[in-house]
Amino acid sequence: MFTTGSKLLIGSSALALVATLLFGILDGGLLGSVGLISATVALSVLAGINVFTRDANVRSDEVESFGGAAAASGRPGASMWPFTIGLAATTITLGLVTYTAIFVLGLILLMAGLAEWLVQAWSERASSETGHNAEVRARMLHPVEMPAGAAIGLGVVIYAFSRVMLGLPSKTSTIVAFAVVASVVLAIGSLIGSRRSISAPAMTGGFAIAAVVLVSGGAVAGLNGEREIEEHHTTAYYAAKDECGAEEISADEHASQTVAGKASSAAEIFLTESGTIEFQMPGDPARRTDALQLPRSNPNNLLMRNESSEPRRFVIDMAEGYEGSPPRMCTQIIEEGGVQLLTVKFAVPSFAPEVEAVGGYRFTVPGVDSASLQVVVP
């Protein structure tokens, strides 16, 4: 006698076989025929397995099989891992056509879901006691779940905060927004602390609402994109574009006007009040205006001092086409009485044709025509 499940599968197999024959005779399409044949074979296999196992039913006269029947087994516990695996499969598929990071995230989610589902299914059959089974699962997975969950949660919080901070229109609005958030958190914490007792569901609900708000804010800010942040270039960038003039540039903002005494300078170079450039060698108190001689292929730390009454910068043209030697170097704007450090490394000597073509190595000051100091590199 066939069970209800066997009858259903046998009837489906017969219907699929009839549909295959009719389609093959009347239409003759290859693709449709292959699909119907595959369905017929699959349904026939399932029907055979179901007939062999008798739809997991136990006959009334098989008393010894009552204990092992499916009806005698406990109901499996609720599980979120099938949903997690389905989400992981969707993420993997999405990652194949979008970004590699999404594909990798889907793989990690798939492996974690499979491992959790496997251990849960095993623990539910450890004994007939539900409490003992839950304890077995906890002993195996909690040492892994707790650190991993904390790391993931912390990463989500940090990333969401960063998206919100970068999504606000300005740095000032970021400070104001987080000051307000900190005040709200302090007020809620004070309210909770003032109560003698608070239920676990209330605490869980509060944290869940906070997490949803944080993640939602981070998602919205991330989709809107980061605010436009002005790029701040260095003096090397402006020197390469030949923009080291007398006017102030973005690289001059908050420029240091002092240099530590341990700078190990090779020389001190002065822009005088009269608009000339003088230099002084270490250990020599005399100032000179003739050519400054510096070694080649070694870094030279030079102290650039502005003794004039206006903010000025120093500029020197270098040899082009040599690695480690930019075509031009300049300091930031030096205020009156200020000093800055400039490290110069010469790749070729002064008598090289490419150096002589630009008039040799020479320090100049934009806006001061009389300011010029020749540099000799042997």
Question: Model-level pTM?
Answer: 0.47
From CA 93, how far away is CA 374, in angstroms rounded? 66
Distance of CA 90 to the CA centre of its chain: 22
Map tokens 């090779």 to a residue: 266
Identify whether 244 is part of a domain.
Answer: yes
From CA 139, how far away is CA 52, in angstroms rounded? 39
276 & 321 share domain: yes
Identify whether 337 is part of a domain.
Answer: yes
| Segment 185-223, tens digit of pLDDT | 888 888 878 877 777 787 788 878 887 887 787 777 777
341 & 211 share domain: no
From CA 26, how far away is CA 348, in angstroms rounded? 88
CATH of the domain at 350: 2.60.40.420
End position of a domain, from candidates 224, 254, 270: 224
Identify whether 5 is part of a domain.
Answer: no
- More confident: 323 or 174: 174
From CA 228, how far away is CA 149, in angstroms rounded? 34
Domain count, the chain: 2
243 & 214 share domain: no
Instruction: Please choose, from the candidates 184, 354, 335, the residue with its C-alpha nearest in 3D space to the C-alpha of residue 254.
Output: 335
Q: Work out the number of other CB atoms within 10 angstroms of the CB of residue 332.
A: 25
b/e burial code for range 211-230 (CB count within 10 A of at least 16 → b): eeebeebbeebbeeeeeeee
pLDDT band for position 73 (cuts 50, 70, 90): low
| Segment 236-284, tens digit of pLDDT | 777 777 778 888 887 887 788 888 766 678 899 999 999 999 999 988 8
End position of a domain, from candidates 224, 254, 288: 224
Map tokens 């017929």 to a residue: 40
Domain residues for the domain of 170 are 126-224
370 & 272 share domain: yes
Determine the number of helices (DSSP H) and then strands (DSSP E) in the chain.
9, 9
Instruction: Please choose, from the candidates 346, 364, 326, 332, the residue with its C-alpha nearest in 3D space to the C-alpha of residue 266.
Output: 346
Surface-to-core class of residue 271, CB atoms within 10 Å of its CB (0-12 exposed, 13-18 middle, 19+ buried): buried
- More confident: 91 or 233: 91
Distance of CA 204 to the CA centre of its chain: 29
174 & 257 share domain: no
| Segment 53-72, tens digit of pLDDT | 766 665 555 555 545 555 55
Q: Work out the number of other CB atoms within 10 angstroms of the CB of residue 342.
A: 21
Map tokens 């102030």 to a residue: 248
Q: Work out the number of other CB atoms within 10 angstroms of the CB of residue 339.
A: 21
| Segment 287-322, tens digit of pLDDT | 988 899 999 888 899 999 999 999 999 999 887 766
Identify whether 121 is part of a domain.
Answer: no
pLDDT at 4 over 70: yes
pLDDT at 173 over 60: yes
253 & 211 share domain: no
213 & 323 share domain: no
pLDDT value for 24: 81
**Summary mean pLDDT of the chain:** 82
